[in-house]
């Protein structure tokens, strides 16, 4: 039975976890991860979800404050109003609310975790996943000391990460890639610009073709599907879209315009597991490769990304790294670790396969609301 009986308690926790190393992108330098966690409780089960909006509206218009508003004032009352419902029923109700896919994903994820715990199944079984282990990848922030970037790259190669992504921005791109390629000519490598370039930068962007990158992620702004299509025509390097794809409609438009050749599906950016599955199968039909990105999630959100990648179609390595790459101390009990071949095993326990440690939650909590 895939029906949830009734949600009795909903809780919101805002936590702030210090990152091991500041993470610099073209839009910010993050020193810690502020994450909004959702816990839903029914008569016989509970589930956790994580909202990946940040403290600031730089990656997306959503922030933890907007998500808190949407979740508290709309999504939780909607979930409370449902009796004996399928997750799909809740998602139908959510669709009356425009956008706010990160807020929706956090609640959707909690429902999926709750349902799989209720059935005593790992989440991947419930969603139809097949792989027992997935590929790893690491996203390295912008470094101002090239030796430091080379050292971090070497460390990741030794750990057997399946591919390395570096963050780039204007002025921190071609020269850095040249040096990396000099020392690592064969490394599966890609770059992520987080929208730092404009359509007028075509000549600069063409220089990326020299480095045999797996892809260039989000060179232009969030709403630049048309300009991405003009740039992609001129580049050998496949463009991968991240920020630009929030909905199935965005995806269909991007593919119709040929704005990219690869999609970064972050389930937490697009409304959750269900939406991610629909996008993945749409991409499969259209011969577009996909991979699962990350948002420096805590162990809760990161485990959803793990389970998602057990679905057929997630063939490219994603931004799924070890817990120790992000935090000294996570809020869940089971850290994510790389095997000696660089693969990551899916935790077998019920739900996401990790349990929140109450002491840690208390230690890092900066806001709490109960409904």
Choose one: 97-105, 106-114, 185-193, 296-304; the region binding Mg ion (CB under 5 A). 185-193
Q: Is 314 in the site for ligand OSB (CB under 6 A)?
A: no
Which partner, Mg ion, ligand OSB, none, binds residue 108 by CB below 5 to 8 Å per kind?
none
* Residues with Cβ within 8 Å of residue 307, at least 6 apart in sequence: 122, 123, 124, 127, 129, 273, 346, 352, 353
Smallest distance, Å, CB 217 to Mg ion? 5
Which partner, Mg ion, ligand OSB, none, binds residue 143 by CB below 5 to 8 Å per kind?
none
Choose one: 99-107, 207-215, 291-299, 355-363; the region binding ligand OSB (CB under 6 A). 291-299
When the beta carbons of 45 and 194 are compared against ligand OSB, the nearer one is: 194
Record the tokens describing residue 236, joined without a space.
């050998």
Q: Is 192 in the site for Mg ion (CB under 5 A)?
A: yes
- Which residue among 49, 294, 342, 350 contacts ligand OSB (CB under 6 A)? 294
Stretch 78-117: interaction string toward ligand OSB, x if CB under 6 A = ----------------------------------------
Measured in Å, how far apart are the chain's first and last C-alpha atoms?
A: 27
Picking from 177, 170, 171, 174, the residue whose alpha carbon sits closest to that of residue 140 is: 177
Choose one: 79-87, 224-232, 247-255, 289-297; the region binding ligand OSB (CB under 6 A). 289-297
Q: Is 321 in the site for ligand OSB (CB under 6 A)?
A: yes
Catalytic-residue membership of 167: yes
Stretch 50-69: interaction string toward ligand OSB, x if CB under 6 A = ---------x----------
Which partner, Mg ion, ligand OSB, none, binds residue 62 by CB below 5 to 8 Å per kind?
none
Helices within the chain (DSSP H only) = 64-70, 76-80, 87-94, 101-118, 123-127, 146-159, 174-183, 202-206, 225-234, 248-257, 273-285, 299-308, 358-364
Annotated catalytic residue, options 39, 104, 165, 266: 266
Picking from 363, 344, 352, 348, the residue whose alpha carbon sits closest to that of residue 138 is: 344
Query: What is the rounded CA–CA span in Å between residue 107 and residue 112?
Result: 9
CB-based contact 67:36 (threshold 8 Å): yes
Picking from 272, 345, 253, 352, the residue whose alpha carbon sits closest to that of residue 75 is: 272
Smallest distance, Å, CB 84 to ligand OSB? 36
Catalytic-residue membership of 178: no
Q: Is 143 in the site for Mg ion (CB under 5 A)?
A: no
Annotated catalytic residue, options 39, 104, 165, 167: 167
When the beta carbons of 231 and 245 are compared against ligand OSB, the nearer one is: 245
Closest residue to Mg ion in the complex (CB) = 242
Q: Is 24 in the site for Mg ion (CB under 5 A)?
A: no
Task: Give a three-class secondary structure readout of 106-170.
Answer: HHHHHHHHHHHHHCCCEHHHHHCCCCCEECCCEEECCCCCHHHHHHHHHHHHHHCCCCEEEECEC
Smallest distance, Å, CB 213 to ligand OSB? 15
Q: Is 293 in the site for ligand OSB (CB under 6 A)?
A: yes
* Overall size of the chain counted in residues: 371
CB-based contact 124:346 (threshold 8 Å): yes
Site for Mg ion in 214-243 (CB under 5 A): 217, 242
Mapping DSSP to helix (H, G, I), strand (E, B) and coil, where does residue 50 land? strand
Query: What is the rounded CA–CA span in Å between residue 46 and residue 71?
Result: 17
Record the tokens describing residue 305, joined without a space.
């990304």
Record the tokens describing residue 355, joined without a space.
């349990």
Give residue for tokens 């629909």: 278
When the beta carbons of 143 and 319 are compared against ligand OSB, the nearer one is: 319
Q: Is 319 in the site for Mg ion (CB under 5 A)?
A: no
**Catalytic center residues:** 167, 266
State the residues that interact with Mg ion by CB under 5 A. 192, 217, 242
Which residues sit at the interface with ligand OSB, rule CB under 6 A? 59, 139, 192, 194, 242, 293-296, 319, 321
């Amino acid at each position: 039975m895939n029906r949830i009986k009734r949600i009795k308690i909903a809780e919101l926790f805002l936590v702030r976890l210090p990152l091991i190393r500041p993470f610099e992108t073209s839009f910010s330098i993050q020193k810690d991860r502020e994450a909004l966690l959702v816990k839903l409780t029914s008569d016989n089960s509970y589930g956790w979800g994580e909202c990946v909006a940040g403290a600031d509206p730089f990656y997306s218009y959503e922030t933890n404050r907007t998500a808190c508003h949407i979740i508290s004032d709309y999504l939780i009352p909607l979930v409370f109003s449902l009796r004996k419902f399928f997750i799909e029923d809740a998602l139908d109700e959510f669709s009356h609310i425009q956008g706010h896919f990160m807020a929706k994903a956090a609640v959707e994820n909690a429902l999926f975790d709750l349902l799989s715990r209720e059935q005593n199944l790992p989440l991947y079984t419930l969603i139809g996943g097949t792989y027992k282990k997935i590929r790893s990848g690491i996203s390295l922030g912008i470094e101002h000391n090239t030796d430091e970037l080379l050292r971090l790259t070497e460390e990741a190669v030794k750990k057997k990460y399946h591919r390395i992504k570096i963050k780039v921005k204007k002025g921190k791109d071609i020269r850095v890639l040249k040096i990396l390629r000099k020392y690592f000519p064969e490394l599966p490598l890609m770059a992520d610009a987080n929208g730092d370039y404009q359509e007028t930068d075509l000549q600069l962007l063409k220089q990326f073709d020299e480095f045999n990158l797996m892809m260039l992620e989000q060179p232009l702004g969030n709403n630049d599907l048309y300009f991405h299509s003009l740039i992609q025509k001129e580049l050998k390097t496949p463009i991968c879209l991240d920020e630009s794809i929030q909905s199935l409609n965005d995806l269909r438009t991007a593919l119709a315009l040929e704005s990219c050749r690869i999609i970064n599906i972050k389930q937490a950016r697009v409304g959750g597991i269900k939406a991610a599955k629909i996008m993945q199968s749409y991409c499969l039909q259209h011969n577009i490769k996909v991979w699962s990105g990350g948002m420096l999630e805590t162990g809760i959100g990161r485990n959803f990304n793990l389970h998602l990648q057990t679905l057929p179609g997630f063939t490219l390595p994603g931004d799924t790294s070890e817990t120790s790459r992000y935090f000294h101390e996570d809020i869940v009990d089971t850290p994510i670790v790389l095997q000696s071949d660089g693969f990551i095993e899916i935790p077998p326990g019920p739900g996401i396969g990790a349990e929140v440690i109450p002491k840690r939650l208390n230690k890092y909590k900066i806001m709490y609301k109960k409904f």
